[in-house]
Structure 1
Amino acid sequence: MHLTAPATGRATRTTGVRDTDGMAVASFILGLLGLLVLNLFLGPIAIVLASLALIRGTSRRGRAWLGLALGVGDLLILLAFMQADASVSWGF
Structure 2
Amino acid sequence: MQLTAPASRRTGIRDADGMAVASFVLGLIGLLVLNLFLGPTAIALAAASLWRGTTRKGRAYLGMGLGIADLVVLLAFMQMDNSVSWSF
Q: Same fold (TM over 0.5)?
A: yes
More helix by share: 2
Q: In the aligned structure 1, how far is the partner of 2:15 from the partner of 2:83?
A: 38
Q: TM-score, normalised by structure 1?
A: 0.86
Uncovered stretches (5+) of structure 2, i.e. residues with no partner: none
Give 1:10-89 correspondences, 5 Å limit.
12-13=7-8, 14-89=10-85
Q: In the aligned structure 2, how far is the partner of 1:30 from the partner of 1:44?
A: 10
Tell me the percent identity.
67
Q: TM-score, normalised by structure 2?
A: 0.90
* Runs of 4+, deviation exceeding 6 Å: none
Q: Secondary structure at the match of 2:53?
A: coil
Higher relative contact order (CA 8 A, sep 6+): 2
More strand by share: 1
Say what the alpha-carbon RMSD is for the aligned residues.
Answer: 1.3
- Pick the structure with greater CA Rg: 1
